[in-house]
């Protein structure tokens, strides 16, 4: 079995799962391009962008996800080191780990947790 590069955005199911997760924290995916997802939130000033940076495989023929950067108003709010995640064992599929991390990060920006409650809410 030949190993394939990990490309989160090449799977429609991954993108759908991420947009569902982002919806739970108040975001709407309004643009999905080759290397980024743009999201809006009715109570935020400006969009949130999630940008995928790629790296080349040693053979120089293939690229895979290297880092994912979450920005709001042109300020980096979080970075996911995909290469480090690829080297670590996980009890869930990698795409689920990435969706959860990005959803939590975006929830901190919007003030909502993935369960829909406001950050800091007890109930």
**pLDDT by position in tens, the chain (length 123):** 457 889 999 999 999 999 999 999 999 999 888 899 999 999 999 999 999 999 988 777 888 999 999 999 999 999 999 999 999 999 999 999 999 999 999 999 999 877 666 665 544
pLDDT of residue 45: 93
**pLDDT (0 to 100) of residue 62:** 85
Q: Is the dihedral of CA 55, 65, 10, 86 positive or negative?
A: positive
Check residue 123 and give its pLDDT. 42
- Cβ count within 10 A of residue 43: 8
Q: Domain map of the chain by residue range?
A: 30-110
In terms of pTM, does the model score above 0.85? yes
- Determine contact, residues 117/123, Cβ cutoff 8 Å: yes
Looking at residue 1, what is its pLDDT? Answer: 43
Structure token digits, residue 16: 């759908």
Is there a contact between 69 and 81 (Cβ–Cβ < 8 Å)?
no
- Give the C-alpha separation, 67 to 64, whole Å: 9
| Per-residue confidence (pLDDT) for residue 117, from 0 to 100 | 63
Give CA–CA dist 69/59, Å, rounded: 25
Listed residue (109, 71, 96) closest to 14, CA to CA: 96
- Please enumerate in sequence order all residues whose Cβ is within 8 A of that of 113, keeping only pairs 6 or more positions apart, or say none: 25, 107, 119, 121
């Amino acid at each position: 079995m030949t190993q394939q590069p990990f490309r989160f955005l090449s799977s429609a199911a991954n993108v759908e799962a991420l947009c569902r997760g982002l919806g739970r924290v108040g975001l709407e995916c309004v643009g999905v391009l080759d290397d980024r997802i743009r999201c809006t939130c009715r109570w935020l000033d400006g969009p949130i962008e999630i940008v995928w940076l790629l790296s080349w495989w040693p053979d120089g023929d293939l690229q895979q996800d290297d880092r994912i950067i979450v920005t709001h108003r042109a300020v980096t709010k979080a970075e996911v080191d995909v290469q480090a995640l690829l080297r670590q064992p996980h009890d869930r599929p990698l795409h689920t780990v990435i969706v959860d991390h990005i959803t939590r990060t975006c929830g901190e920006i919007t003030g909502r947790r993935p369960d829909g409650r406001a950050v800091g809410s007890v109930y």
